[in-house]
Structure 1
């Protein structure tokens, strides 16, 4: 029996070890499954290099929306080169099984969710994690990409080390210049989803959407358990009309997380760049931080108790996100000053 005949049989009874894709990749074992696809550990046939392969479920292989999501995920991540973002290598459709697939680096390690089942992260370990992940998400936002499904399940710890954390699963991501392939329907995990993903605030999906979910992830890491944002449809909405109680979180972390968890995305007046800068610079300082200005230099001004650029429009989605400033970028010292005032 030929390899193609073996692959065809396996596609009918289910993919398993030995299944080949386009003669380039081979499946070793199934490691996960979800609502749209299955994930397998495999290897490149020529080199033997380990890989992860995400394959669309057979019943969805003809669904143009689902296939579009997979192709979009590959196109988005092909442009990424960040240590905190999973590296994608190839995508295609195997003619024998008729199912699209994505090939990415194989990350050997547990998810952050699995690690947190053992208990919360130590404060300094958590800060290191937050800086790394925020830096990766900032890189995504710089490309105009919003992940929309930030959760502890979608962070993998390579080798079990928090220092090697990587964000995965951009399958429901969207660019800021195009509509989501889900046509506005909710996609994501309810425990980490933002209010606007549930239809509040005009369903305005922006970089602030990832800010909210990342705030919930931060509480999950510091507490060991996620904030309970689930329930009935009414309860799910009501829990997002106010900032969750995080009075048990470390006092130095509380102000920034409360800012990130503001129900209205227009009130989440912090960017992923701000968050990454604050955590990374604090970790890397070997001496006391140098003095920084208490007010932003011109052309920026203080207005109504909030820092915002003068003569610049303030959008509902991102009041003073760095990406909105087409002609000027706030100096690092100003950004650090603003976030330092929040976090002490």
Structure 2
């Protein structure tokens, strides 16, 4: 029993975040699906925030093509859980694994319903940010009618929020699934509804061809490919794909968001002519029942095509933004600081050039703090730049491949300006933080004056 009114009957699915149960809502007698946060994730703030976000994002969005979230509980005496409508059927991902490429009209009809769902979501100020086959559910209606439901608003962004707030994590990790993410998402730029349009276009491309538009196994190469590789036109891969539909999909997958359909309703209109060429029937499931909220394990990435592998760029995806503030140990009344930024490095561009900007000094009573002592402009930038490859290797080897991650470290340095240790703030004894500590130990931070020691605060951000 959960929430004093949801009687769990049977487990019907397990995902990475939660276990889904069929349950009875005792006060109404209605059968519902209850997604309960996994035991090992209870107490993890980001996981609680994701559950809460899904309830918040869908609270004002009611539509036949969007799964209905009816209740959310996060009480101290029981695990967090979401209550949703119980759906029977299968995800698009499951269907594609079974059947491969779909008939053109069937694929267009599925995408058409998802686009209609996006119209409602976007009008309500919600950007999904994770449109993919796992989150598109095909309901078994018992008839030939097609019924599609859009699932999992756990990483949705509300349009009144900034990206950092919407992220729901302190580290700013990538939000979305890279193979289906728009280039601006990969670059950690602000996104709007056009990012969802790109992701839906990627799903439609896969429905028609049986492969993702960007199909690269290596994550570093994938990031570069999403931003720079142009998928082959649908009509060039399947003879029965009309040129008009191929052009619709091509527009959804434009690298520049301004070149895509500006609004979801325009995509709905563009897909409409291609949904009636043949019956678009709902898939019938052989298995018993599947609850919509159960996330499935993502399909393994296919090997990269030879042409893409040959042109994949191997430059580091780490863009360091270094917020450097002297906290000197030798009697300074107040501290000044420097800010070091890098100019938009991506895996396909030249290595970033660091530039240094001195921050305003902290005010003190009766005037302005004295100038920061210890470092001169340029020396810190040069010393940090020499360790970029090692720092990026820490993210790769620790499994932290999110392009948008950012972490803050306190670097303690000796009187000679040599880093004695790097500690993540807040302290997290993870494999990543330990690797960063090893990579930065021994680094000489410019040329401080004699007998000066202190702390440098460093923000590492991957873009």
TM-score, with length taken from structure 1? 0.70
Q: Is the 8 A contact 1:156 1:166 kept in 2?
A: yes
**Counterpart residue number, 1:170:** 153
Pairing of 1:67-216 with structure 2 (within 5 A): 67-93=48-74, 95-96=76-77, 98-117=78-97, 118-159=99-140, 163-178=146-161, 179-180=165-166, 181-182=168-169, 184-199=172-187, 203-216=189-202
**Counterpart residue number, 2:24:** 43
Structure 1: runs of 5+ lacking an equivalent:
1-19, 286-344
Matched, 1:248 2:229: no
Shift in CA distance, 55/270, structure 1 to aligned 2, threshold 3 Å: same
Greater share of helix residues, 1 or 2? 1
**How many angstroms apart in 2 are the aligned matches of 1:31 and 1:227?**
32
Structure 1 residues 138-191: Cα deviation after superposition (integer angstroms, max 9, x where no partner): 111111111011011111111166711100000010112213213542122232
Q: Is the 8 A contact 1:242 1:262 kept in 2?
A: no
Q: Indicate the SS of the match to 1:50.
A: strand
Q: Is the 8 A contact 2:178 2:223 kept in 1?
A: no
Shift in CA distance, 191/282, structure 1 to aligned 2, threshold 3 Å: closer
**How many angstroms apart in 2 are the aligned matches of 1:270 and 1:163?**
27
**How many angstroms apart in 2 are the aligned matches of 1:188 and 1:151?**
9
**How many angstroms apart in 1 are the aligned matches of 2:5 and 2:210?**
41
Q: Indicate the SS of the match to 2:50.
A: helix
Q: Indicate the SS of the match to 2:140.
A: helix
Q: Is the 8 A contact 1:52 1:103 kept in 2?
A: yes
Q: Is the 8 A contact 2:245 2:274 kept in 1?
A: no
Q: Is the 8 A contact 1:129 1:162 kept in 2?
A: no
Give the superposition deviation at 1:25.
0.8
**Counterpart residue number, 2:249:** 257
Q: Indicate the SS of the match to 1:273.
A: helix
Higher relative contact order (CA 8 A, sep 6+): 2
Q: What is the number of residues matched between the two proteins?
A: 263
**Counterpart residue number, 2:5:** 24
Computing the radius of gyration from Cα coordinates, the structure with the larger value is 2
Q: Indicate the SS of the match to 1:21.
A: coil
**Counterpart residue number, 1:267:** 259
Structure 1 residues 37-59: Cα deviation after superposition (integer angstroms, max 9, x where no partner): 22222222344422111122223
